[in-house]
Structure 1
């Protein structure tokens, strides 16, 4: 296993469903498991074959994971994606770390049968609705955001 896990005060009071699944306290359709990870089918799939990949240790979010564990997480995601492509006959499998709903690092692996599988576009089209794309960012805003992120990365690198 890896280093100490990250927990939040809320996580200390509320049982984590992914920890319960990883510890086999809750049943799941497990497709892969090892000492560090468990992958299982989502019970509310976006598309058939939708898999959740979770770390056994509780880490709230992807950036809380130790780097070596995060690297294995990505590698396992690639391995699962390749298997899913063959099974489902799709060209792409989406790998999403959303950071929402459950504060336990996880990725959704979704076979993409259509380009709209992980967007709201199909729903909007089915309902006869329309939406405007996000506004185009100005060159100034892009430069500002780029500079902020570059500065934050440089400061973090100096602390390493």
Structure 2
């Protein structure tokens, strides 16, 4: 783990997070600036700057967890589709975003935007109580299945 990496610090529990799932290899927690309620990040506990640096079995473990979370999110949020993407844009620690998609634009590429030179901003951060409620709902869904 890296001493100053934000996600390594979250994995070491030095920074609080609304945890959805934890095992010996990965940690899943709510994004504090969610695109939609339930927007979850899955990180390997070991530091890998890029997703392609991870061992294939670890990447598969993250994808499998994402699939399980996606099925629960569909039920919980009444959505037809859940987006999954490995990224590393804002934090140089491999991570996956799992996002319940209420609209097709909830997870997309800027290549689909006709206007150029747009200014983007981070989504607002919900109150901690709202994040805690969402995390508890998702943990409950995960606990009720195998």
Equivalent residue in structure 2 for 1:80, among 69, 78, 91? 69
- Say which SS state the counterpart of residue 35 (structure 1) adopts: coil
SS in 2 for 1:116: helix
Which residue does the alignment assign to 2:88?
99
Matches for 1:32-51 after TM superposition, within 5 Å: 32-51=21-40
Name 2:115's counterpart in structure 1: 131
Number of corresponding residues: 114
Q: Which residue is 1:147 aligned to?
A: none
Distance in 2 (CA, whole Å) between partners of 1:71 and 1:53 is: 12
Q: Distance in 2 between matches of 1:102 and 1:42?
A: 12
CA–CA distance in structure 2, aligned partners of residues 52 and 37 of structure 1: 10
Q: Which runs of 5+ in 1 are unaligned?
A: 6-10, 125-129, 133-160
Note the alpha carbon deviations across 1:37-93, whole angstroms, 9 max, x for none: 110011100111110010111111111011111111111111111111111110111
1:112 pairs with 101, 106, 123, which one? Answer: 101
TM-score normalised per structure 2: 0.71
CA drift of 1:32 comes to 0.6
Deviates further, 43-52 or 94-103: 94-103
Q: Do 2:51 and 2:87's aligned partners in 1 also have CA atoms closer than 8 Å? A: no
Match of 1:31 in 2: 20
How much does 1:120 deviate? 7.2
SS of residue in 2 equivalent to 1:77 = helix
> TM-score normalised to the size of structure 1?
0.65
